[in-house]
Every structure is written in C-alpha cells, then in structure tokens.
Amino acid sequence: MIQKILIANRGEIAVRVMRTCKEMGIRTVAVYSEADRTSRHVSYADEAVCIGLASSRESYLNAEKIITAAKQFKADAIHPGYGFLSENAGFARRCKEEGIIFIGPSAESIEAMGDKISARRQMIKAKVPVVPGTSEDLKPRDLFRVCRRIGLPVIIKATAGGGGKGMRLVYEEKQLHEAYQAAKSEARASFGNDSIYIEKYIESPHHIEIQFLGDAHGNVIHLFDRECSVQRRHQKIVEESPSPFIDDKTRQAMGAIAVKAAKSVGYVGAGTIEFLVDGDMNFYFLEMNTRLQVEHPVTEEVLGVDLVKEQIHIANGKKLRLRQKHLHQRGHAIECRICAEDPENNFAPSPGIIRHIQTPEGIGVRVDSFIYDGYEIPVYYDSMLGKLIVWATSRIYALERMRRVLYEYKITGVKTNIDYLRRIMDTRDFVKGNYTTHFIEDNSKKLRESAANDNEIEDMAIIAAYIDHIVNSNDAPSSSPADNLPISRWRAFGKQKGVLRI
C-alpha cells in the first residue's frame, strides 16, 4: 500500500492533493523551485526538496530531477496534479521503470489520447461520435478538398496543442493557406510538433465534459457532467455541475459514451472526456484529458466524492468502490477561477506581493488556494491563485451564494479578476443558463460597461471617504490626535484604498 506520495506540482493543486493524503494517513513530499521557497505547498508537506531554478524546464518539467527526489525520499508514488508532467507519457513510463507508482493512467493510454489525431482515430474505431474532419497530418494540397467535403467554417488545429495555441478559425477559402501556415508555425514553436489537422467548426457550441474513473480490473464508471462554456481565449473561467443546458437523456447518453471511450483504451485512473454539444444536443468527442482537471471540485461537490482519494485507491490496485447505480447528482455547484490579472488591461498578469486576504466563509463554500498575507506571486507560472467553489440545493441558490462569496473575497496588493467574475454572475445569459462558448464575446460590451460603472462608483466612494475624513478632522477637538477620530465606514474604506494615511 502507498505510504508516501511525492506531489510533482505546485500551488493550489499540490495543497489540495496533500489535504487528502493527510486524511488518509499518507506522508507527503513537496518539490519546489527556487521561486517557490515560500509557497504554501512547501510548508504544508511533511518533507520538501528544492529541485531547481525558477524556470519550469529547470524544475517542475524536469522528470529526472523529480524521480531522483522521489527515490531520495523513498516515496512509493508520484501524483502529477494537472499541467506540467501530468500528461507526459515518457514521465509515466520512467516512473514505472524506477518502481514508482504513477497516480494516473498508463503511458500507453496517455500516448493514445495525447495526440489529437491518434485520439480521433481511436474514437472512430470505438464508434464514438467525433466532429467531421481529418484523421491524419493535413498537407497543403488537401486543404481545399477537405474543406469542400466537410463545409466551411472549419478550425485548423495542432495535434499536440492545447489552450488555443496552434489553432485558427477559417470562414472563407481565401483564408485557408495563411491560417494553415500560421497554425503550423505556432504549433512548431509551442510544442515542437507542427502536425496539423482540421475539423468542422461547430457554431456556438456548449463545452461539456464527463468525468470518469477506471480501475485495473476493467471497471469504468462516469461521474456525470460539467458545463465549461464560459471561456476566454479558449481558457475556462467558470464551470458548473450539472450543466444547465443538457437534459437527463443526453446526460446519460454522454456518460455511456465516455465509459465506452475509456474502456477502448484500457483506461486506469481519473480522466475526462470533453465534448462539443450543438443547439440540438448532438454531441461530438473533442479530446480526452488523462489527468485530474482543474474544475474537478464541482463534480466532488455534487456527488460527495473525493476524486483524489479514489485516484490513490485505484493506484493501490483496488477495484472501484463506487457503483454507477449509486451515483446521483445532488444540488448544484459553481466554480470560479481566481487569477492575479488585470481585466481592465487586457487581462495582463499581475504578479506582486499580496497585502491582505479576506476569505469567504459559510455553508456550502470551498476555497482551494495556496496564497496568504505577504505571499509574493512569482512571474514564472500561471496566474491562477485558486478556485472558489460553492454548492447549494439548486442552481439559483448556488448563483446567489457565489455572488455573496465573490463580494466577501478580498485580495489587496495585486490586481485580480474577482470583480470581473462578479459581473459574469449578474449577466443575463449566465443567470438564465443560456450560454455557449461565445458567452464572453457575446457579452463583452456589457462586461466592459459594467467595469466602467464599477470604477466610477469606486471613484465616487473614494471622494466621499476623503470628504468624510476632512469633516471629521475639522470637527475634532484641536487637542485630539487624529488616531482618536471616530472610526466611520468611509474612513475605513479610504484607508483600505490607500487614499488616507490616518
């Protein structure tokens, strides 16, 4: 049985995995870069070791350094979290060679689903519905023939890509060659692999994914759906479960297809099938994520299941403890990703020192994070500071709760997207649950106008705080020091915003 786990990651996911390990009585080893010496995951672990410089390539992406650390600290297993080496087949294979349990699928499963062309072929073979397109590296001579067969618009994609890189949308034939070359060049620069394929572009789809678990004994179950259509630059911002769009019949059909897809590659561990769903609820395979997803907490909240605990149980060679007939979605969960970025400056990253945090509390509230007062956000990694998750008995109650906790969540010293998320929660399309992957684009004007209104209101409040301070100062006895002035809410607000020193 696994007694010690090295977590080959950083930030909130490292802390989240460690929490489950502590509950299970499993010791933990943290790895960290020079830039992460003061990160919470380092102090939270039972043991910790520096594995390199700030650059990810010198630390969190250096497989040999991580394996050496695991052997040095006699870790039985490595949990990769998400990102970094979590979907690296070579890393999974090296762990196996060194006798270390990789808490994730086999290298073969990762390879089969990691390359998007390979994944499409595998899904077609398994009779899983896929978006019309190509299943081989696309050559320039085939561009027009393929596009005329499947019809415009199309989307050109990198086979090894993700996060919107190596991707170009084409509406007209005259754009094809330029888009093809641009996607190929970006793919080569980003992934070292310039293989390209093409798909029919589904207009205004929903991005819905199905979580699943598989064990080494051939058992696979699905854990229902997550709606992930609120995206900016192909990056998810808000997720919820269950989806407010699909009906139960479609939900069950998608779950059954996800189980079928996982079985077709002999999948062992936790994974996710991502689907595109059109307005008529036709759904198509998009990709398989062979790791834990960032948004896994919303599934945990509606099912009452600890997915990391199940991952460890499966890695121990045990059969699934969960049965499909016993699983039911209860209530509704929403997750917002909290990032250090400036929405008013094209979402530019906002590294720096966090001066103060006020974390929301109350029933049905969960914060997965790693930051603290005085923590300095490094410039080298993703800007996500954590995730704010709420659960309630219905979607409308969950929405009301999320509005409340976003109001309570205060982070000073750096810019964050908290106010932007609050505006999303008040946007008509989101409130109605009637939104697609074009939500941000369709509501960009409203979101910008709301931001301008928020800034104007804050400016007026700052002026009011200053006036209140002057009035109180003039009314105070001349012998009374400023610190003895009555504490008003305006004065407290002015001090918080840095316009008043006393």
Give per-residue pLDDT as tens, 220-230: 999 999 999 99
| pLDDT tens sequence across 46-98 | 999 999 999 999 999 999 999 999 999 999 999 999 999 999 999 999 999 99
Tell me, what's the pLDDT at 174?
93
Residue with tokens 């008003």: 488
- For 202, half-sphere exposure in the C-beta direction (CA atoms, 13 angstrom radius) is 21
User: Any catalytic annotation for residue 291?
Assistant: yes
User: Residue range 324-330: average pLDDT?
Assistant: 97
pTM of the model: 0.87
Reading the block at residue 223, the tokens are 């854990």
Tell me, what's the pLDDT at 190?
81
Q: Is 240 helix (H, G, I), strand (E, B) or coil?
A: strand
The one catalytic residue in 16, 291, 423, 491 is 291
Residue 421 region by backbone torsions, left for phi larger than 0, else alpha for psi between -120 and 50, else beta: alpha
Element (H, E) at 380: none
Q: Is the dihedral of CA 207, 208, 214, 220 positive or negative?
A: negative
Tell me, what's the pLDDT at 289?
94
Q: Is the dihedral of CA 340, 343, 347, 352 positive or negative?
A: negative
User: Residue range 160-179: average pLDDT?
Assistant: 87
Neighbours of 483 (CB within 10 A): 7
User: Residue range 99-124: average pLDDT?
Assistant: 93
Is 80 exceeded by the pLDDT of residue 420? yes
Q: Is 422 helix (H, G, I), strand (E, B) or coil?
A: helix
Residue with tokens 């006699």: 74
Is 90 exceeded by the pLDDT of residue 324? yes
Range of 134-138, 204-208, 233-237 with top mean pLDDT: 204-208
Distances (CA, A) of 65 to 91, 138, 202, 376: 11, 37, 43, 25
> Is 185:165 a contact under the CB 8 Å cutoff?
no
The CA distance from 391 to 365, in Å, is 7
Distances (CA, A) of 429 to 298, 337, 424, 449: 20, 19, 9, 16
User: Residue range 428-454: average pLDDT?
Assistant: 86
Q: Report the DSSP pairing between strands 167-170 and 154-158.
A: antiparallel
Is pLDDT larger for residue 498 or for residue 448?
448
